[in-house]
Structure formats: structure tokens, C-alpha cells
Amino acid sequence: MEFKSAPNTIGKPIKCKAAVCRGAGEALVIEEIEVAPPKPGEVRIKILCSSLCHSDLTYWKFKSGPLSFFPRILGHEAAGVVESVGENVDEVRFGDLVIPVFRRNCGECRDCKSPKGNTCTKFAVRYQSGMPRDGTSRFKDKDGQSIHHLLNVSSFSEYTVVDITHVVKMNPDFPIDMACLLSCGVTTGIGASWKVAKIEEGSTVAIFGLGAVGLAVAEGARLRGASKIIGVDLIPEKFELGKKFGLTDFINPTNCGESSVAEGGCTIILGMEMHGKPISINPYELLAERTIIGCLFGGIKPKVDVPVLAQKYMQKELNLEGFKTHEVKFEDINQAFDLLEQKKSLRCIIWMDA
């Protein structure tokens, strides 16, 4: 989908619908909001579809602490088209198909130019609820009150404003719903295998937890040529689902033995314990050349690596369809939350204009 001509909204505020969360754990309410035009270095995007990530569920439930901000527009896995751009933006233009991503990639700083990791140090201050350059909001409710952002994206809105460092341009022929899936969780899991673990052909891989990200790890391991991909989970039924993503074996976590990592092996930590509890490690285990690595967004540099994954999908090397288990209309967005809470879905696509 592209705009056929420049919309008359350029440079003006836009009134549209958004699913606003006004309190921790409360049902989202479809409200009319106002979305400001993009400032320098920013892009205003017409969201076509979003998918619900478990991180949205986590932020939705925060009742207090430094990550609790309400009212807020959640959502950070999405695909859309550019409606307008601010000054100093020439990477994309109106009508381009793009995905917003929570992980920044300016391509200019020392870290972005380094082949190691995917850290970006473009901005000195990290704002938790506003735009990355100034920390302010681009959303207002009908009473003129500011609405907080989430993870520099906030895609549960018909329009959103995203910094250009958080935008990836996609091939216009790429399926919109599949583009949406590449903006967070699936890419995180695939990247963990592909970029961080750098799994070698013939390797054995164990995956603890077979949610969407865990299955994406399996898919990435399959792409890297792993000969044995073991799912470690309490629910045996997940093995049948996992076979679609390359899973070859299944064990209960109580049968893992003293150490699940071979000498010279590597443990990649993807998820977070949200209360910051310390991890206990036996130092003798590390003497056997075992390593532990934490990663965010699977070590993926969005503007560089996401197009590579997109190409693999177009060449039928990458399974993305298997992650889409449900679809709902925007007005039914709370059903997506129910499905994820009940562990009935991997990814539910939320269509903004169904």
C-alpha cells in the first residue's frame, strides 16, 4: 500500500483512533487522539497492522516503578506506510512501506559501525516514555493531555511518530503482515541463533521455553544447519508445533541433568527477569570454556540485518507464516491480549483497517 499523492495532512496534526491504556492491566480503550507532525529526524507513519508481543503484555501490567507510565499507547511490532517526514530525513519518503523497531540503528555512531553487537549511542539520554531526541510526546487525548509512548514505537494507533533511527524501509512488495512479524520477537529469536550464537553446521541446540521467541530460535538454528534442535519445556504438546520450525527432539526440564551446556558451549540469555534478581553461576562451569551472553533484539542491526531476513523469506528459506496464529480487527484488540495471556497464540495480527 502506498499513498497515491502527498496527503494534505503534511505538517499538520492528525486526529485518529488509538487504543489507549489508562491504567495497569486495564482493558485498552479506543479513543480519538491527536498525533503531532514529525519534528526534525522523525517520521509519521500510518500503521497498517500490529502484532502483540509479550513485552507489550509486561508493560501493560506494570503498576509502579520506573517503567510504569499511564496513559500510554502500547504496541511495538508493526508495519505501515510513511505519511510525512520531518526535516533532515531523506532515508524514507511518503508512501514507503516501513517497519518501526524498538532497537535504534543510526548507522553513524562508532557502535553502529562496529560489527560487534547492535548497540547504538546516537543519543546520550534514554527516555522511557517519549521521543528519543527530546523525551516529549507526540500524542494528545481529546482533553489535550499528553499520552506516553512505548519503546519508541507505540503502534496501537492509526498514526504514530517514530524517530528515523528506529525505522527500517521494506520492499514495497513484501507482505504487510509478515513485515510486522520482523519488527521484534521473531527477529530476536532468529538473530540469537544467527548473529549471536553463530551456530555452526552440525551443532546441537537446546531451547528453554517454546513461545514465539523460542520457536524463532529454532528457526534460526535450522537456517544455520544445526543437526539437533531440542525443545526444553514442561508442555510436550509444544513439540508438534516446534517441528514446523526445525525442532528435532523434546525433553522435560527436570531431565536436563547437572549441566545442559557442553564444554566449550555457549548460553544465550534472551528474556529478562523483570525484578532484577541476580543469577547464580558456578565459576567452575566457566573454566570448561562455557560462556554466557546476554543479547537484545537478537544482536540484529535493524537497518542492515532485517532486509537480509526479508530476502530469505522471499526466497522461501525462512518460515514466518507459522508464527501468525490469529487475526483480529483493531476494535477487538483486547481479544489479542486475552489470547496471549491464555497462551493460545504465538502472534496475533491486529489489522487497523480490516
pLDDT tens track for 23-42: 999 999 999 999 999 999 99
For 350, other C-beta atoms within 10 Å of its C-beta total 28
For 311, other C-beta atoms within 10 Å of its C-beta total 13
For 135, other C-beta atoms within 10 Å of its C-beta total 14
DSSP state letter for 37: P
Percent of the chain with pLDDT over 90: 84
Interatomic CA distance for residues 70 and 322, integer angstroms: 34
Q: Is residue 312 a part of any domain in this protein?
A: no
**Is the domain of 229 the same as that of 283?**
yes
**Is the domain of 109 the same as that of 151?**
yes
Residue 284 has a pLDDT of 83
Could you tell me how far CA 33 lies from the centroid of its own chain?
24
Buried b (16+ CB within 10 A) or exposed e, 166-179: bbbbbeeebbbbbb
**Is the domain of 27 the same as that of 176?**
yes
**Is the domain of 20 the same as that of 49?**
yes
Residue type, 164: I
Q: Is residue 334 a part of any domain in this protein?
A: yes
For 215, other C-beta atoms within 10 Å of its C-beta total 28
Residue 286 has a pLDDT of 86
Domain count, the chain: 2
Buried b (16+ CB within 10 A) or exposed e, 275-291: eeeeeeeeeeeeeeebe
Q: Residue 19 phi/psi, 5° resolution?
A: -90, 105
189: left (phi over 0), alpha (psi -120 to 50) or beta: alpha
Half-sphere exposure of 38 (CA within 13 A, CB side): 25
Residue type, 295: C
**Is the domain of 46 the same as that of 165?**
yes
Q: Find the mean pLDDT for residues 293-322.
A: 96
Half-sphere exposure of 51 (CA within 13 A, CB side): 28
Q: Is residue 245 a part of any domain in this protein?
A: yes
Buried b (16+ CB within 10 A) or exposed e, 69-99: bbbbbbbbbbbbbbbbbbeebebbebbbbbb
Pairing of strands 228-232, 249-251: parallel
**Is the domain of 20 the same as that of 165?**
yes
Q: Is residue 108 a part of any domain in this protein?
A: yes
Please give, one letter per residue, the 3-state secondary structure of 274-341. CCCCCCCCCHHHHCCCCEEEECCHHHCCHHHHHHHHHHHHHCCCCCCHHHEEEEEEHHHHHHHHHHHH
Mean pLDDT of the chain: 94
**How confident is residue 67, by pLDDT bands cut at 50, 70 and 90?**
confident
**Is the domain of 20 the same as that of 169?**
yes
Q: For 238-278, how does the pLDDT look when each residue is reduced to its tens digit (9 = 90+)?
A: 999 999 999 999 999 887 766 678 888 899 998 776 677 88
**How confident is residue 6, by pLDDT bands cut at 50, 70 and 90?**
low
**Is the domain of 88 the same as that of 51?**
yes
Q: Is residue 155 a part of any domain in this protein?
A: yes
Question: Longest C-alpha distance within the chain, in Å?
Answer: 65
Interatomic CA distance for residues 249 and 169, integer angstroms: 37
Query: Angle 333-341/54-61 helices, nearest 10 degrees?
Result: 100
Q: Is residue 5 a part of any domain in this protein?
A: no
Pairing of strands 146-147, 139-140: antiparallel
Q: Is residue 94 a part of any domain in this protein?
A: yes
* Domain containing residue 270: 186-298
Number of H helices, E strands in the chain: 9, 17
Check the CA dihedral 44-47-52-53 and report its sign. negative
Return the C-alpha cell found at 93. Answer: 519518503
**Is the domain of 74 the same as that of 154?**
yes
Q: What is the CATH number of the domain that holds 83?
A: 3.90.180.10
**Is the domain of 213 the same as that of 174?**
no
Q: For 176-190, how does the pLDDT look when each residue is reduced to its tens digit (9 = 90+)?
A: 999 999 999 999 999
**Is the domain of 149 the same as that of 281?**
no
